[in-house]
Structure formats: structure tokens, C-alpha cells
Amino acid sequence: MDKRCPRKLKNYPDSPCSEGKKAMESTRKGENQGCPWFVAEASSCYCFFKLMADDGRAIPAHRIAHLLMIDDSEVKRVIQSFRRKVPNLFKVTDTNEII
């Protein structure tokens, strides 16, 4: 299990995580309480780490929005911002450095 888990679980949850459910319900109310790693997915016990361990594949933007309980347009805005910044992270000044 991931060390960032607020409950410090040693294994992925096999029943709904109380902190994940608390975070999901709090988000619906416009608040911010509970586990910051929750996902709105009962089959993953509301746990992001379990979701990634069970699936691990790339997740489309609309699915990310659903899991995080936010609008699709917000996810798309963040992805576009990331796409603009990534090339600057990998600029090479000396072409001899390219392998």
C-alpha cells in the first residue's frame, strides 16, 4: 500500500474506506474533509491507490472528472496546461546530448 494513505493501511482496502467515503460526501457538500486520495468508485473501495493497482491503465479525461467529482472542462483545462509546459521541461541546449 502507498505510504501517503492517511489511514496508514498496510494493504489495499477490501471494503469501502471510511475516509474515502467521508471525502466523497464532503466534496458533494462543497467541503474538503477526509482522504485527499479518494475516488468516486465503490468497486475500488473509494481508494485511488486500489483503483490504480487494480487497473493501472491510462484513464480518459471524462473518467478522471467522474472519479474526482469535478467537471470535465476542469480536467481538460489542466491537461492542456500540462501539455504546454511539458516541452519546456525537456528542452535540450546541446543536440549532442540527444541519444
CB-CB contact of 16 with 42 (8 Å): yes
Question: Where in the sequence is the domain holding 21, given as residue range(s)?
Answer: 1-57
- Together in a domain, 5 and 28: yes
Q: Do the domain assignments include residue 39?
A: yes
Number of domains the chain contains: 2
- Together in a domain, 14 and 52: yes
Q: Do the domain assignments include residue 96?
A: no
What pLDDT does residue 92 have? 53
List, for residues 49-96, the tens digit of each pLDDT value.
998 888 767 778 788 888 888 888 888 888 888 888 777 777 655 555
- Together in a domain, 29 and 39: yes
Give the C-alpha separation, 47 to 72, whole Å.
20
Q: Tell if the pTM clears 0.75, that is, is over it.
A: no
